[in-house]
Structure 1
């Protein structure tokens, strides 16, 4: 790219314009965070050059003294942050500073409320990054050159943070990036030396490269004549400790420093919920600093989302988002791992095959689960409840993905149950087992589309009658979870909506009564089976119902309704199967059916009963019009009687 390229004005991506507007108007109460964000980005740019220079040393052009500089001009009311990191090309500038290339953007924008206070929290959760400059600046200039490029390939980006920005070629002698903020009139405090130093110490002390500011001028010597004073180049001094936080002893690091480092590695706005700092020595040597966020990201349910830990080898940055060190169900964990055993030229492909990585993955997974176990058992139950509300459904993926830790994960799971009948998932499997009846050998559960449907499922009627607790499951992953868990503490799981129900606490007398009931209702069952043969695989009498006339049951080896809906929504082929209709012969409507002599009327009533059972399960009718027509016909007949 040469310097004769004309200046070009381009428009911001729609999402970028929306975020800029919201940020400028919603984060005014915490404006100083812009400096943390911009210094963090500068540090990341240096880390990226460090890594790139491992394979191409020429990128350094003889300069390996990495630094970030913060320069102030009180008269011009400007603040400039410079780094000698990887820098950007013209294409990079347009891509990174004109768009928001971040998954979850659409979901984030849809969730905004228009309430500035609430939206400020959401913006922080989403991450503010470069655009935070416009919280304090009327105008921002970015002058950059990519490492390895010629001086003539420098690029100047300029914007007032509104509809558009300009890009033009501008010579730059040094690699890296300088961001100049033309501060708003009410933001003059950020051109004050003492104020800026205090912010850097507060938010960026942990940055592993020196953050430099101009040192105060030394007073002239007593024997020097003022007229002979020679103007010298300004001297710069480090404002931060410039020591990687994870390399320090835990006793030397304050909670505030841990919290600020989390915001650096995660680009989150809120403090983390929990963290663990650990150094391992022996066969493998590595240090890890792992964080549990307080809030879930918008793209948490996207299993292809960017995830993983920042990887360092012997204090040298290697890559962001090294996903090989934790399983997918722990994709919400943020942090750093620094190994002494891996090669500096390690790649993602090598990481997948390295036995040392597999050993570290196992240990780090155990550490995260131990962190969660400790939090779950602590007196601060609200903290684990807050974690579960944000990340519980993702943790439920664990038993299918991590057989070695299935028991540990099972103890961390929380559910709604008929014991409390509230939607909050706050009951553990250990809680359930402690309340089981003496002769009870199974853990019973019901799966439904939502909590209300689960709570009011007809399958629960006999369990409520007998005082047997049932887990109420409505998360979309629950059906899959239970297929993987199979048992807990020696107790097997039983879906109350699957197969023939045999309660292990039924007495011999109750079993005999059921056999008698089945025999007495054989004629009704046969008539229903004939009429509904196109819609159900079987009709049978049941004792599981006390208030309802009928319910649908899944066959022992058929796919559950919840899993079927998930696969259908994903466009996947679903094996064909028909439900089983179970009828309560003691119900008044069943008796009416049994006495109905008119076969056409019997057929209408039978289909109404089936459709009702489908609706109660949260299912959809294939022919709602036919259901309404039959129901209306029945109502008219009743009115004429």
Structure 2
């Protein structure tokens, strides 16, 4: 008996998140389980790329001169499927870390979405996002992983049935790969088709045909392997040699998503710096798109050697773009610290960003329907660039699309807005809030609507911030309709009252003076409104400082300790206001002034500052009305 046979396996319990994920996969029904093979082959290819990278500084790791490769072996009799690579491999601690825990950013959010989804939607989620190694348990009731790290003189075996725990034990080197990892799937009865050559070969060609490592297939024990994929770098081929299917397959392998890309940007740059880029605009939102810690997913290669997927190859507002950049202008042994400081990489980032934005501009001009899909998916992210990227702000503003008071549910560009501006209009007007319905019913819009002035309706979180950093578009400043004076007098419009008709009667003027005194420190001012045509009141912010929505957001985030006092605007021609102004009972007028302020707060999406006082005032008015009725 060898010392390996005498060793007892160590038993470990899965991390909580892994157990949850495995339970969901094992006990849920998925219409497309093929994704597991793509995930395992992707892992194997990554392991080969990591070995190639580490061998730059440690040539002894691959001194046998064996070419990187992936071998898929089938056995229909024993119902097993084996995926083996000769990559970097894993030692004991790396096995525990890689196969017993989940460290991938966004996994928690993915599982929450998976748990919350309906049964029929789960297949779509699993296919769209992938679940890495653990997807094996969709088709296997037991998985064995045998691995030997390059350069080590020990090999280890990891085994689990996916029910909450796993074993690890040392194995004889003769039972392990010379280096790399062998994953053995003991297939369930309803997954026997994955031991069939025709099924597996088709999945590999469809989903993993363009991984940068050759893939061979052994259809049965003792048979000679046949090559399924040559591992050629797709990005180095001429575009004329690449079909749409080739591009789509490569996108899926490099992105980990299962949708179809809306567009690709494939080019070779020559000159001061040389590099090749193949980037994709996804056809759906990555599940962690709005994760504040999420970074880009572009992979950096140097002379076809994978270096890292953590280099900042694009600005954060293009973090939804997937793909690769390959350059010969960086050293193969470049460190992460050098990557962050590299002027070459900074120049590449600038060039790739410009090409992607140019491709989006071209799409907006010539493929409006496709660009509309891109904007619906990633518009909120692109607008972050308007706030962050001064150099490309004008370009991003031209790309931006907005819903407005005249767009009837569609989106319009700022060029469309300028073309429809009224005579005398000097600004681009907007209003921001949490929903289109809320914004469309805002009283602040009434005067603009009466004049036929278009107002942009902004509902994304970033919409409260970027207008403060974008001073103008083609000379026209951005102005919130909830801030300062409306300045509608100079605009020639379709309707609305003229200057004489807007003058307040002496009674209303007197009531406004009274309200200003009664409300005291609660407000900044009370004034006649030239923006209201129907509602009695509204709140606006002062001319200087943040508008109403931005102020609320800053306060909610704890970045604004003291809010500025709002201005209460009163519609001097509203029948209710005129009726109130005609009653000279001081107690009544004071209650009316406070109730009008609370009404404006409610219309603004807030609640009365003092609900009890609001109810008492309302009760007194009801009692007065009932008394008059008698």
Tell whether the structures are fold-level matches, with TM greater than 0.5.
yes
Q: Aligned residue for 2:134?
A: 131
Report whether the alignment pairs 1:345 with 2:322: no
Q: Aligned residue for 1:484?
A: 469
Q: For the structure 1 residues 128 and 27, does the alpha-carbon distance in structure 2 shift closer, same or farther, using more than 3 Å as the test?
A: farther
Report whether the alignment pairs 1:102 with 2:90: no
Classify the secondary structure of the residue corresponding to 2:309: strand
Distance apart, 1:409 and its partner CA: 0.8
Distance apart, 1:569 and its partner CA: 3.5
Q: Deviations over 1:225-253 (max 9, x none)?
A: xxxxxxxx865443212201111111111
1:74 to 76, 97, 100: 76
Classify the secondary structure of the residue corresponding to 1:534: helix
Kept in 2, the 8 Å contact 1:611–1:627? The answer is yes
- TM-score under structure 1 length normalisation: 0.90
Classify the secondary structure of the residue corresponding to 1:294: coil
> For residues 521 and 28 of structure 1, what CA distance do their matches in structure 2 show?
68
Q: Deviations over 1:543-590 (max 9, x none)?
A: 211111111111122223322333334333444311111111222232
Q: Aligned residue for 2:608?
A: 621
Kept in 1, the 8 Å contact 2:424–2:490? The answer is yes
Q: Aligned residue for 2:51?
A: 49
1:445 to 427, 430, 437: 430
Q: Aligned residue for 1:208?
A: 212
> For residues 186 and 507 of structure 1, what CA distance do their matches in structure 2 show?
73
1:354 to 334, 338, 342: 342
Kept in 2, the 8 Å contact 1:545–1:584? The answer is yes
Stretch deviating more after TM superposition (447-456 or 9-18)? 9-18
Q: Aligned residue for 1:162?
A: 163
Q: For the structure 1 residues 587 and 251, does the alpha-carbon distance in structure 2 shift closer, same or farther, using more than 3 Å as the test?
A: same
1:144 to 135, 144, 147: 147
Kept in 1, the 8 Å contact 2:216–2:226? The answer is yes
Distance apart, 1:512 and its partner CA: 4.1
2:563 to 576, 583, 604: 576
Q: Aligned residue for 1:228?
A: none
> For residues 540 and 2 of structure 1, what CA distance do their matches in structure 2 show?
88
Q: For the structure 1 residues 91 and 194, does the alpha-carbon distance in structure 2 shift closer, same or farther, using more than 3 Å as the test?
A: same
Stretch deviating more after TM superposition (462-471 or 558-567)? 558-567
Stretch deviating more after TM superposition (111-120 or 505-514)? 505-514
Kept in 1, the 8 Å contact 2:422–2:491? The answer is no
Q: Deviations over 1:443-476 (max 9, x none)?
A: 2111223222211111111111121111111211
Report whether the alignment pairs 1:176 with 2:180: yes
> For residues 552 and 310 of structure 2, what CA distance do their matches in structure 1 show?
33
> For residues 99 and 556 of structure 2, what CA distance do their matches in structure 1 show?
36
Kept in 2, the 8 Å contact 1:303–1:328? The answer is no
Q: Aligned residue for 1:364?
A: 352
- TM-score under structure 2 length normalisation: 0.92
Distance apart, 1:25 and its partner CA: 5.9
1:311-390 correspondence runs (5 A): 311-323=300-312, 325-379=313-367, 381=369, 383-390=370-377
1:466 to 427, 430, 451: 451
Report whether the alignment pairs 1:417 with 2:395: no
1:191-590 correspondence runs (5 A): 191-214=195-218, 235-323=224-312, 325-379=313-367, 381=369, 383-422=370-409, 426-503=411-488, 505-506=490-491, 512-513=499-500, 516-517=503-504, 521-590=508-577
Report whether the alignment pairs 1:189 with 2:193: yes
1:19 to 18, 21, 34: 21
Stretch deviating more after TM superposition (354-363 or 506-515)? 506-515
Classify the secondary structure of the residue corresponding to 1:502: coil
